[in-house]
Structure 1
Amino acid sequence: MKIWHSYGSEHSMDLVLIGKFETVSGAEAAIERMEALKALAEAEWSDDDWRLPEKRMPDALVDELMKLKLYELGRSDVDIYAFDHSVERDGSTIHIWTEESEVQGFLKVLLHLGARVEVFSRHDWNDDGTPRKAAGD
């Protein structure tokens, strides 16, 4: 019998990111950029090619990030937009739901555009900010 010892990150984070902007136009700009990043991530998916120096930041990716004025994003920040996530806007507030623990790409866009950001796991908190009650509480 062979026993496999490994580390896996399959655990669902069930994260919520909330970005609160001063204006509705700030939230709309964030949504526009996130939609563009999702399309870019799907078109330029790295498939781990980022490990090779010549594949880290293809010219097409750099050009699109420059157009979006998202200079601080890297390859892995863009790739996160290809994974399953949901984004909704309610006035000047954006909610993002993801199972991933890597959320840097979302945070960078929200912060770049001036949002105040809150991040929490729905394992412990409800969407309205109240704590979840444990089964025995």
Structure 2
Amino acid sequence: MIGRFQTVTGAQAAAEGMEALRALAEAAWSDDDWRSHDERMPRELVDELVKLKLYDLGRSDVDLYALDHSVTREAETVRVWTEESDVQGFLKVLLHYGAKVEVFSRHAWNENGSERSDASSGSDSGSD
């Protein structure tokens, strides 16, 4: 996933927000069944999301940041790598900070838009 911003400041804010979410997700991660219908998001988690002004993130969006992923920033561009197919938590943050976002599978596509030459072989080596 690539987020392109109009300013370096926007990209930097998004990358910092994602790093804060990583720390929050790791601190709040729970392997209990929080998905039960009668359980709400923990108040502490809601308070932290309010501090970050990320009002539209849900528990599953935050939990995504505890899973294996990487985020890099280079000038006005933020890149997110993950093996997860659920990328909504990353997408919401990039959009919140004003990015134009491109989402693609590195298993099948190169960043320049060309098809990976090894994509037809079923290789999963394309995810960086």
Instruction: Assess same fold via TM > 0.5.
Output: yes
User: What percentage of residue pairs aligned between the two structures are identical?
Assistant: 68
- Pair 1:59-2:52 in alignment: no
- Check whether the contact 1:19–1:115 (CA below 8 A) recurs between aligned residues: yes
Gaps of 5+ in 1: 1-16
Distance in 2 (alpha carbons) for counterparts of 1:35 and 1:109? 11
- Larger of the two Rg values belongs to structure: 1
Count residues with an aligned counterpart.
Answer: 120
- Pair 1:86-2:73 in alignment: no
- Check whether the contact 1:19–1:95 (CA below 8 A) recurs between aligned residues: yes
CA deviation vs aligned residue, 1:40-77 (integer Å, no higher than 9, x gap): 00000132432235643101100000000000000000
- Check whether the contact 1:20–1:115 (CA below 8 A) recurs between aligned residues: yes
Match of 1:27 among 8, 11, 14: 11
Q: Which residue of 1 aligns with 2:87?
A: 103
Distance in 2 (alpha carbons) for counterparts of 1:36 and 1:95? 16
Residue 129 (structure 1) shift: 2.4
SS in 1 for 2:18: helix
Counterpart residue type for residue 22 of structure 1: Q
- Check whether the contact 1:49–1:56 (CA below 8 A) recurs between aligned residues: no
Distance in 2 (alpha carbons) for counterparts of 1:27 and 1:39? 19
TM-score with structure 1 length normalisation?
0.81
Cα RMSD (Å) of the superposition? 1.7
Counterpart residue type for residue 116 of structure 2: R
Match of 1:122 among 106, 113, 124: 106
